[in-house]
Structure 1
Amino acid sequence: MNDAAGALVKVWFALDQEEGGWPPVGGESLWAVDVGDGLVRVDNVPFFVRDLAYGDIVRTQLEGDGRPHFHERVRVRVRVRVRVRWSRTLAAGTPRRARRVRAAGCFR
């Protein structure tokens, strides 16, 4: 990791593909803030990594490639990421779905 706590680092998250080839990549790198002792705070919204949100604290380990890799989630913040995949079939119900998401408190 970096010697300076508070520094931005890129953390590598390896991903397993599901049947059908999703996600279309083998991993994702996310920006995180070094908080010391191998811990970082995720500093951007993950696109492919599941069960992780902006602000979560994770433990990393330096791997042979010299990059910090995700090891485990240590602390979950109160943020929630909602993954939405659109299609023409779903588009017709968009206003109703948007109301349900707002009612769940996901928008301010």
Structure 2
Amino acid sequence: MHKKVVFELEEGDDGFPPARFESVWAFEQGDRTYLLDNIPFFAHEATIGDRVEAEDVDGQLRYRKTVSTSGNSLVRVLYSPEVDVDGILSDLRGLGLSAETYIEYRLVAIDVPSGAHLTPLRSYLERRLELGELDYEEPLLRHEQ
């Protein structure tokens, strides 16, 4: 059954993220564990394909810990207002990656599967960074450096 697992977020000095909680779709696995089914925009603890433990707190399933990882890495992009996000998504698909967008905050959350290489993605992002088109972070890196 599809459920929402809620992650508590810590606000940084810059006032980001803009919320205290983020909910992520997940499939119930039993034993209070859930398999995450979408890429988080703000949470740093887990990503799509990870199995997490959650407990009911006032009717919400709250993240407690990651039970097992998918091996996937999580990369996030903040793009400039003048940048065409569809172009970024097309480029990412060309690299064999999937991503989700949060248009209101100009965010792209990227799933880097365990079998993929980070080098082509990093080269692409660095090139766009140098052009002033975006900035990026690697909040959950599980690939070999």
Q: TM-score range by the shorter chain?
A: 0.7 to 0.9
Change (3 A) 1:30 1:103: closer
Give 1 or 2: higher strand fraction. 2
Alignment pair present for 1:82 and 2:75: yes
Kindly tell me the number of residue pairs found equivalent between the two proteins. 90
Which ranges in structure 1 are unaligned for 5 or more consecutive residues?
1-6, 89-93
- What letter corresponds to residue 72 of structure 2 in structure 1? R
Secondary structure of the corresponding residue to residue 104 of structure 1? helix
CA separation in 2, counterparts of 1:105 and 1:77? 21
Instruction: Give the structure with the larger helix fraction.
Output: 2
Q: Given the two structures, how large is their TM-score scaled by the length of structure 2? A: 0.55
Structure 2: state its 5+ residue gaps: 82-87, 96-116, 122-145
Distance 2:120 2:33 in 1: 29
List structure 1 segments (4+ residues) > 4 angstroms apart after TM superposition.
none
Q: CA-to-partner distance for each residue in 1:58-83, whole Å, 9 max, x for gaps?
A: 000111x2111101111111211111
What TM-score do you get using the length of structure 1 for normalisation? 0.72
The one-letter amino acid of 2:38's match is N
In the other structure, the counterpart of 2:119 is 104
Deviation at 1:20, TM superposition (A): 1.3
Partner of 1:35: 29
Q: Which residue does the alignment assign to 1:48?
A: 42
Cross-structure match for 2:61: 68
Identity of aligned residues (%): 31
